[in-house]
Amino acid sequence: MLKKILIVILVLIALPFIIALFVQKEYSVITNITIDKPTAEVFNYVKYLKNQENFSVWAQMDPNMTKRYLGTDGTVGFVSRWESDNEEVGVGEQEIMRIDEGKRIDFELRFYSPFESTDLAFMTTESISTDQTLVKWGFDGHLDYPMNLLFLFMDFETMIGNDLNQGLVQLKQVLEAE
């Protein structure tokens, strides 16, 4: 009887790890909004990481977070670091990895706490007309095994998509108020 109980306990412990082998590890989110401003003006605003403090949901979650910057904002290699006691913000940094002037900015996000992860994000601007710009904000993330088991309980794409959408709405308000 004791042997059967031990086998059941071992199966119960091993089962989540076995399931995690078959669960996705990657996710991708792209959101967009139309802003009633010329593309050059919009791009020249979003290429500066410090401006994210005015529209990014995560930057606004903890007004008391510690921020440090390395390099020249709006150029490849610029790093924006943050530290927060708020677990939704945590500790990490964002670096501008590539700029296609007037069109696209690629970022690498490095999270250190409450979990470690390196993910990619981007923003693009595309002219719809002389006074309208389509802005896309994308995020590609992953969870390593066995943390990818969280995908069964949490919809990361919807959660992050909602935050990106809210950030784009705030970006639109900021830029159209100028």
Alpha-carbon distance values, 99 to 35, 82, 165 (Å): 20, 22, 22
Mind listing the pLDDT tens digit for each residue in 4-56?
A: 888 888 888 887 777 777 777 777 889 999 999 999 999 999 999 999 999 99
ω into 146 cis (within 30 of 0): yes
Nearest C-alpha neighbor of 132 from the set 36, 54, 58: 36
Residue 175: CA count within 13 A, CB half-sphere: 28
Mind listing the pLDDT tens digit for each residue in 103-129?
A: 999 999 999 998 788 999 999 999 999
pTM attached to this predicted model = 0.82
Q: Is pLDDT at 151 greater than 70 in this prediction?
A: no
pLDDT more than 70, % of the chain: 97
The pair of three-digit structure tokens given for residue 92, joined into one six-digit string: 């990490």
